[in-house]
Structure 1
């Protein structure tokens, strides 16, 4: 789950902000509505800054290659901001997402 509008849509200087990252999720579990897997980034709920406008929160699901050891680099572990999603996708040969969902939120 990423926010391409961090900290705001007009100045997305921290985009993509990584809110959540799970790997090793079994397809059979997903069919039953379960998101069990290995957590690489703990879930951080959407909390857009005041007066930052609408934010899009994108959920992307990729098919992981069998026996692929997906992990974060030390640099990726140190910050959730400026996530290079395309580099991550390329590094682990994830290809195109098999499912996506975007949710928009306005700051409270």
Structure 2
């Protein structure tokens, strides 16, 4: 038996700490898998794992995630035998956002999500912070 199965197969949302956040700014967080269903055949990329808007800079500085969850957190879940997947966290300065754009994002599917169109439609520019990690199915 795999050690992870002994511990848990469910993981909660990670803590997000950004000590360089400006206290009076809002931020937007995206978590994606660009390798869905596999790195050799990413036909479902980007897979949207998490989208949170209106993150208060004053809270991000101490690791408190306080904002509006647009897409609920979905833990990394690479399919069996699909190899390693990159999971990317992208944090952006958030410009003013129109409510209907957020409503569209709530309705959008997770798979084949157009991250570049999202960045363009919200005028996000480049991330202020980003990190990624690699993982594979825990039974591989």
| Same fold? TM cut 0.5 | yes
Could you list the runs of 5+ residues in structure 1 that have no partner in the other structure? none
Where does structure 2 lack aligned partners over 5 or more consecutive residues? Answer: 1-30
What TM-score, normalized by structure 2, do the two folds share?
A: 0.71
Q: 1:78, CA displacement in angstroms?
A: 4.1
What is the CA–CA distance in structure 1 between the aligned matches of 2:38 and 2:54, rounded to whole Å? 32
- Say how many residue pairs are matched: 106
Alignment of 1:1-108 (within 5 A): 1-65=31-95, 67-69=96-98, 71-73=102-104, 77-108=107-138
Q: Distance in 2 between matches of 1:38 and 1:63?
A: 15
Partner SS, residue 112 of structure 2: coil
Q: Any idea what the Cα deviations from partners look like across 1:15-37, whole Å, max 9, x if unmatched? A: 00000000000111100101111
Runs of 4+ in 1 over 6 A off after TM superposition: none
Q: Find the structure with the greater CA-based Rg.
A: 2
Q: CA-atom RMSD, angstroms?
A: 1.4
Question: Which of the pair has the greater relative contact order for Cα pairs under 8 Å at 6+ separation?
Answer: 1
Partners of 2:103 and 2:129 lie apart in 1 by 22
